[in-house]
A = this chain, B = another copy of it.
Amino acid sequence: MTKIVSVFRKAHFNAAHRLHLPELSEDENKELFGKCNNPHFHGHNYNLEVKVTGPVDPKTGYVIDLKILNTLIEDEVCERFDHKNLNLDTEEFANLNPTAENIAIVIYDILEPKLASNLSLSVRLYETPRNFVEYNG
């Protein structure tokens, strides 16, 4: 019988960002996003937890080789966002507010098409140790 297991891999990247909606006034932005609206940006150590669920290969005992998953995360996510200003340096957030929710969705949408079709994905993103989000598609 096939066993279904989830495997997890953690990664991290450091980035600057600013929460801001161009269609709102300066005051409305400040009201809505508070200190996170600082026009000069602030930043975070983002910690990312990627969960891949699927059948265990009865031969190797792997759901997915974690070295391959790690390389995928490093190449597709960390390379793209590490030491970047999310608003200014990335096309993903040029027109999308970089809330933790939106960053998790973007990361999911980057990684999901790269996985085999029998694997399902979940993305957890820690903006701080006390604030985090999770997106399962």
A-side residues, CB < 8 A to B, are: 3-12, 14-17, 19, 21, 32, 34-36, 38, 40-45, 56, 59-63, 65-67, 82-85, 88-89, 96-102, 104-105, 128-136
Contact = CB atoms under 8 A, between A and B. Distances in A.
Q: Which of A8, A42, A61, A134 has the most CB of B within 10 A?
A: A42
**A-side interface mostly:** mixed
A14 B62 contact: no
Rank and list the top 4 A-B pairs by shortest CB-CB distance, nearest first: A43-B43, A40-B85, A35-B83, A61-B99
Contacts of A14: 42-44, 128
B84 A40 contact: yes
A97 B58 CA distance: 10
